[in-house]
Structure 1
């Protein structure tokens, strides 16, 4: 137990206490423009509620989290199925798909920002294939930029989802598969009726991590669009970052408290439903 004391001390100083102070400062007028800090009750929440920017950031955060959860799990599941067999080529491919997970999120964001410019590598490749000029601004479209950024986020983390799905596929009992084959089930029927339901714990883990990770996302969005164009990718953490940078510390802590409540209200019910699904399956 004594060996745990330093770890708990660090956790207390750098996580528990800042979290508690975050709850306290959300109900004050703390800012960079005056030295005194006075309690204001729920005034910060009322001001933010009257400002449509907060609700816009909340809506964008929810859309972004949902897109990432769908894309990341689709990509990870597809890769796990394609690379399930233990061949030398598949082992090498698994390593390559895990490399983005180990990369810095900011590096990934800046890399895709360069590739997706009007004169970037993606447009040049499309122009070479189509044999005509193509200069689409992937990160400047107010309709599709949120989808593009969600795809980038999913690309970075799909290797982790692939690894979890691979572990789930490898732990399926062979006697269950043999029983399905004896009963005359086709390969396709066996996959969807037997193997897929047994992956329920892997689905729960991957959906939960994708939701929590994307709702707390910041670096990839900041590196690619910075919240633009026209704030269409301004998720809540980008909004908090900008507000804190303006010296409005109390409003920023209030927003972070709202983000905490949003995560609790959105992620935990989803995890509960997925756990119930596991029990049914």
Structure 2
């Protein structure tokens, strides 16, 4: 009689080991906020620290004519605001900024409407119009300065077309030179405005436009009543950046006219640059602080008005 062997007992299922908790120190080191540290350091070193020193040195007599720096209070501000040149340069800077904002946004919007369709030619044209944005502003200024001379390329082209000798001093008028320089500035940056407006146009729902067409609305009526109101966020961004950015303009004007003729294009930054070159560091710092405060005071009403317009629309 043979003994029956009992079947082997099933092996116990392995129990899952609990994962070890992550150390607190490592979790803190992997926090996404650490990626902001390099950018924050650059911002502190190259923006906040110079801005603080700008406020400090504006109330001193810092210059290249003596080594000591003394506190003079508000004497620099009193001397500057009694100087007619500063007030005149502030007026020129404001006029220049308004012209640039108008030209840049009008040209950028027209380009966006013309190049809205996604065709190979339009894609190439978009890239071509965006190229000046990445070019050096000084290079753009010197190129146009050479083109707009009385013997420059523009007059030669006009003379070839008309069959007569043309020698117009495009940068020599005390009335219209600031308009010409503002057009150059707008030409350089209109490609950026074009892209912002293109992005805004692409976000408009086609069903809304199709419903307007079925109701008999033409292109202009559709643009005026539907498309342009829906572009309000793009208008806010482009107008604010063009207006406030051109108030800090320097390189294009310096390369084309140097502030001339007769000081009619002398922006405040050019005045500051010349004052620094004369060794009057405290006065130049006071001017830059005045420009900073003017841009800050102007920025809030402009942005508030444009954002309020968005809410109304």
Using the size of structure 1 for normalisation, the TM-score is 0.98
Q: Which residue of 1 aligns with 2:56?
A: 24
Q: 1:201 aligns with which of 226, 233, 250?
A: 233
* Aligned-partner SS, 1:203: helix
* Aligned-partner SS, 2:264: coil
CA deviation map 1:157-202 (0-9, x unaligned): 0000000001111100112112212322222211111111101111
Are 1:190 and 2:222 matched, yes or no? yes
Q: C-alpha distance in 1, partners of 2:137/2:292?
A: 22
Q: C-alpha distance in 2, partners of 1:230/1:93?
A: 38
User: How far apart are 1:2 and its partner, in Å?
Assistant: 3.2
Task: Give 1:225-244 correspondences, 5 Å limit.
Answer: 225-244=257-276
Q: How many residues align?
A: 281
Task: Give 1:116-195 correspondences, 5 Å limit.
Answer: 116-195=148-227
Q: C-alpha distance in 1, partners of 2:288/2:117?
A: 44
Q: 1:8 aligns with which of 15, 36, 40?
A: 40
Q: C-alpha distance in 1, partners of 2:78/2:137?
A: 34
Q: C-alpha distance in 2, partners of 1:242/1:187?
A: 51
* Aligned-partner SS, 1:233: coil
* Aligned-partner SS, 1:196: helix
Task: Give 1:207-226 correspondences, 5 Å limit.
Answer: 207-226=239-258
CA deviation map 1:134-164 (0-9, x unaligned): 1011111111110010000000000000000
Q: Which residue of 2 aligns with 1:89?
A: 121
Using the size of structure 2 for normalisation, the TM-score is 0.88
User: How far apart are 1:255 and its partner, in Å?
Assistant: 0.4
Q: C-alpha distance in 1, partners of 2:147/2:138?
A: 14
User: How far apart are 1:131 and its partner, in Å?
Assistant: 1.3
Q: 1:73 aligns with which of 87, 105, 119?
A: 105
CA deviation map 1:97-146 (0-9, x unaligned): 00000100000000000000000000111111121111011111111110
Report the aligned-residue RMSD. Answer: 1.0
Q: C-alpha distance in 2, partners of 1:52/1:67?
A: 23
Are 1:114 and 2:146 matched, yes or no? yes
Larger Rg: 2
Higher RCO by CA contacts (8 Å cutoff, separation 6 or greater): 1
More helix by share: 1
Q: C-alpha distance in 2, partners of 1:154/1:163?
A: 14
* Aligned-partner SS, 1:165: helix
